[in-house]
Amino acid sequence: MLGFSHTNFNYTILEMSDNITTIIITLVSVVFGAGGFKFYEFVIKNKREKEKDEMSDKSRFRDDLIRRVDILESDKDECKDALLKISTELASLKTKLEFLEKENERLRYK
């Protein structure tokens, strides 16, 4: 039997079981101990800061877009006023041109 007896095999299994129990207890102690708590606290804090930075970037982007829209709205109003003024002047000049053309025609045939 290759030098193993039944009792040696049972002893080896019990020894491995004790080792696994020790490893599990150590892992539980580390996970739920002060070091583990500080690690989890650090991870959570970094996650919050990252989310805060992302929200800050989104807020900055949104605020920039709002500012740009305000500028464009202001420019649109100024352009609309200028177009109205130009349209009024154009209508006035058309009327003068019609009058001058009629006057020119009248003077030509005189």
How much is the pTM? 0.41
Q: Do the domain assignments include residue 87?
A: yes
Into how many domains does the chain fold?
Answer: 1
Provide the token pair at 83.
């177009």
The pLDDT of residue 84 is 95
Average pLDDT over residues 91-99: 95
Q: Do the domain assignments include residue 24?
A: no
Torsion-angle region of residue 2: left (phi > 0), alpha (psi -120 to 50) or beta? left
Provide the token pair at 53.
């930075």
The pLDDT of residue 52 is 82
Per DSSP, helices labelled H in the chain are 6-32, 34-108
Domain hosting 46: range is 33-108
pLDDT in tens, 25-74: 777 777 677 776 787 788 888 888 888 877 787 888 888 999 999 999 98
Q: Do the domain assignments include residue 74?
A: yes
Q: Do the domain assignments include residue 15?
A: no
Q: Do the domain assignments include residue 6?
A: no
